[in-house]
Structure 1
Amino acid sequence: MKESEIIRVFMSEIKDKILGDDAGYIKFNEDWILITTDMLVWRTDIPDFMKPEDAGRKVVTMNVSDIAAMGGEPKAFFFSLGVPKDIDENLLRRIAKGIREGSRRYKIRVISGDTNDVSEIVIDGGALGIGKRLLLRSNAKPGDVVCVTGELGRPLLALILWSKGEDIPREVLEKARDPQARVEEGKILSEVANATIDISDGLSKELWEISRASSVKIVIEEDALPIHPTVKELSHNPTEIALSSGEEFELIFTISPENIPDIPFDFTVIGKVEKGRGVYIKGKGEMPILGWEHFVGFGNAKR
C-alpha cells in the first residue's frame, strides 16, 4: 500500500476532522496547542552524503517545520529512537549532537525520549508548539494568490546526482544536508495568510493537498516558479525537479492580494486560487502529482 492509502484507512476509521493538516491542534484558553510527529528512517531518509549530525538536525527540522506551517511557535521536541543492539556508540553520540544542535537552532527544549530494539535506525520525532491563529490547508479561498518561500529543487537534484555517482555542488549539498524550517515566516503568515503547507514531499503534491482540502482550483504559472539557478544549470527538466523535490521545508501559502504588502520577508507569487477543483499549469493542463510518497518513492522526476 502507498502512504496516502494507509493514511486514508486510518482517517476513515478514526473519523476526526482535526486530522489532515501539518499538525494536530487543541484549543487551550485563547491559544492553540499544536502537536505533530514525523519519522526518520535511516535507510530511506539518510543518503551517505549526510552525516549522523545532519540526521539529528533533520528530524528536529522536519517536526518544527510542521509547527511553522500551522503558524505556530515551536516550544519543545521529543522523540523515540529505534536502534540495532550492535549500534556504535559514537554514531549515537553524533545523532544526539545533531538533535542538540537542532533544538538550539529553534530555541526549543528536548523534553522526552524512548528507545527500543529494531533492525535499522529509526527516529520518530515530535514537536509541541503554540499558535494564535491556525493556518489550515482547508482555508484557501478563490481570489487568493499562491506563494512560496525560497528557491526550489536542490534536495532532489542532490539525490539524483548522488545516485549517478556525480559530484554534488556545494550550494546543492548544503540545502540537502541542512534545510531549515521557516519558523519566523510561519508566525508572520498566521496573521495574514489563509492556507499554508510546508514542502516536505514536493511542491506538486502539496498544492494538490491544498486544492483537495479547500475544494478549490489552483493555477500555477510555470515561468514564475523560483527554481534554484544550479538546478536550472544541471537539470534537463528543472520544472519537473522543482515540482517533485521534497524536504525543502519551504512554505506554500495562499493569501488575499490586499495582504501581500504586510509580508516583510522574501517570497514568490506562483499562481492563483480559483473556483473549481484540481491543480493546473497555465497553458499546459492538469499538473501531475509528483513528489515523494513512502512505499513508492518519488514520482517520475528525472534529471
Structure 2
Amino acid sequence: MTLKVSDIGEKELISYILSKSKDIVPDDTAITELNDTNLISTCDMLIESKHFPKGMSYFQMGFKAVTVNVSDLAAMGSEPLGFLLAIALPKDLEVDNFRQIINGVVEACSFYNIPLIGGDTNEADEIIISGTALGLCDAPLMKDTANEGDLICLTGDIGLAALGFNLEGENVYTEHALRPLAPINEGKAINNAGATSATDITDGLASELYEMKPDSLGFMIYEEKLEISDEYKKICSDLGLNYLDLALHVGEDFELVFTISKDNDLDINYSVIGEVNSTDKIEITLIDGEVREIEKRGYNHYVS
C-alpha cells in the first residue's frame, strides 16, 4: 500500500522537512541573525476552498492573509518590518473582486503598521494567497521554554471563531470567524515583560499546548478560568456541539498563549488559565473538579 500525505498529516510532513535542514528553527517563524538583532520571517498560504469560510468577503480574505502572518510575528514578540504578497487568481475572477482583496491587504497592513513591499501574481483554479511577513526582534520568544511554576496565560477569549464558523448573521462569533485580528502589540508587551514562552493559537489551544510543552514538564489549565459564557454553552448545546471541543481543538483564534513568571509587571489585559508543573502531562480541571488529560488534537491539513 502506497503511503499518502493524508495518512500522516501536516505535523509529520513538517518533521520530515525539519530533518532535512539544520538551519530551520522549529518555531512559529524563522530567526536569522542580522547585525545586532534578528530578522523574523514567516509565510502562510491561504486557499479559498480551505481557509475562507462561507460569508467571508473578498476584502476580508485580503485582510486575513495579512493577519495570519502578523500573528506569527506577534508570537515571537517581533516588531513588524514588511509584508510580501503572492496571489494566484482564476482567470474569470471579476476585477472588482480582485481590487477588494487588495484593499483588504492594504487596510490590514495599515492596521498592523507593516508596509506592503512586494510580491508576485499567478493564475490558479481558485484564489490562493500566500503572505510573507518580516520583522525585527532582539530576543524572540520561543515556544517550548517555559519554567516550572510559570503562569499559563491568554491574550483574549478562545473558541469564538470556532463557534462563528457554525453561525450566520452578524454577531461576536461570526465577527471573529470572518475578521480575526492578531495581537501584535500584546506580543511585544509580553516579550518586554519577560514572558518565558509563547505561540499563537491557530490550530486550537490543545494543539498549541502540546507544541509548547517542555520535556519533563506539564501544564494544568482550568475550565473555570477559560471563562466560557453561558450564552456560548447554550448556543453550542442548541447546535449539538461540545463547547469544550470547540474551545480547545478548533483554533483560528489568533490569540497568544504564553507563560510568564508569577512575579511580572505585564500591563495588558490578559487572563491566567493555569500553571506549569512537573507532571509531564497536559491536563484540564473541569468545573466539577474532575481532572482530565487533554487530547492531543487540533486542526490538521490533509487529515479530515
Verify: 1:286 aligned to 2:293, yes or no: yes
6, 22, 25: which one pairs with 1:19?
Answer: 25
Render the CA deviation track for 1:150-198: whole Å, top value 9, x for unaligned: 111111111123xxxxx34511111111111111111111121000000
Question: Residue 152 of structure 1 contacts residue 245 of structure 1 at CA under 8 Å; is this kept in 2?
Answer: no
How many residues are matched? 288
What TM-score, normalized by structure 1, do the two folds share? 0.90
2:272 maps to amino acid? V
Asked if the contact 2:220/2:274 (under 8 Å) is kept, the reply is: yes
Is the partner of 1:34 in helix, strand or coil? strand
Q: Which moved more, 1:272-281 or 1:146-155?
A: 272-281
Partner of 2:252: 247
- The Cα shift of 1:276 comes to 4.4
Give, in whole Å, the separation in 2 of the partners of 1:102 and 1:4: 29
CA distance in 1, matches of 2:182, 2:196: 19
**2:53 maps to which residue?**
47
Q: Are 1:65 and 2:67 counterparts?
A: no
TM-score normalised according to structure 2 size: 0.90
The one-letter code of the counterpart of 2:59 is E
C-alpha distance in 1 between matches for 2:104 and 2:45: 15
Partner of 1:301: none
Change over 3 Å in CA distance of 1:3–1:89 after alignment to 2 = same
Query: 1:84, CA displacement in angstroms?
Result: 2.0
How far the C-alpha of 1:132 sits from its partner, in A, is 2.2
| CA distance in 2 between partners of 1:88 and 1:71 (Å) | 38
RMSD over aligned CA atoms reads: 1.6
1:227 deviates by 2.7
Match of 2:204 in 1: 202
Stretch of structure 1 that moved more, 279-288 or 195-204: 279-288
Counterpart of 1:171 in structure 2 is 172
Match of 2:112 in 1: 106
Matches within 5 A, 1:123-138: 123-138=129-144
* SS of alignment partner, residue 186 of structure 2: helix
Q: Deviations over 1:40-59 (max 9, x none)?
A: 11001112211000010001
Equivalent-residue separation in structure 1 for 2:230 and 2:182 (angstroms): 21
Residue identity opposite 1:206 in structure 2: E
> Partners of 2:147 and 2:281 in 1: how far apart?
14
Per-residue deviation, 1:11: 0.9
User: Distance in 2 between the 1:225 and 1:257 partners?
Assistant: 18
In 1, are the aligned partners of 2:164 and 2:175 still within 8 Å (CA)? no
In the TM superposition, residue 216 of structure 1 has moved relative to its aligned partner by 2.3
C-alpha distance in 2, partners of 1:62/1:175? 13
List, as ranges, runs of 4+ consecutive aligned residues in structure 1 with deviation greater than 6 Å: none
Query: Is residue 231 of structure 1 aligned with residue 236 of structure 2?
Result: no
Q: Distance in 2 between matches of 1:83 and 1:128?
A: 24
| Contact 2:25-2:31 at 8 Å conserved across structures | no
| Alpha-carbon shift at residue 226 of structure 1 (Å) | 3.4
Greater mean alpha carbon deviation, residues 7-16 or residues 125-134:
7-16
- The alpha-carbon deviation at position 5 of structure 1 amounts to 1.5
Shifted more, 144-153 versus 226-235: the winner is: 226-235
Separation in structure 2 between the aligned mates of residue 31 and residue 255 of structure 1, nearest angstrom: 23
Paired residues of 1:195 and 1:253 also in contact (CA < 8 A)? yes
Q: 1:7 aligns with which of 5, 14, 25?
A: 14
| 1:272 equivalent in alignment to 2:271 | no
Cα distance between partner residues in 2 of 1:168 and 1:229: 20
SS at match of 1:44: helix
Q: State the distance in 2 between where 1:201 and 1:46 align.
A: 15
On the 8 A contact 1:150/1:226 being kept in 2, the answer is no
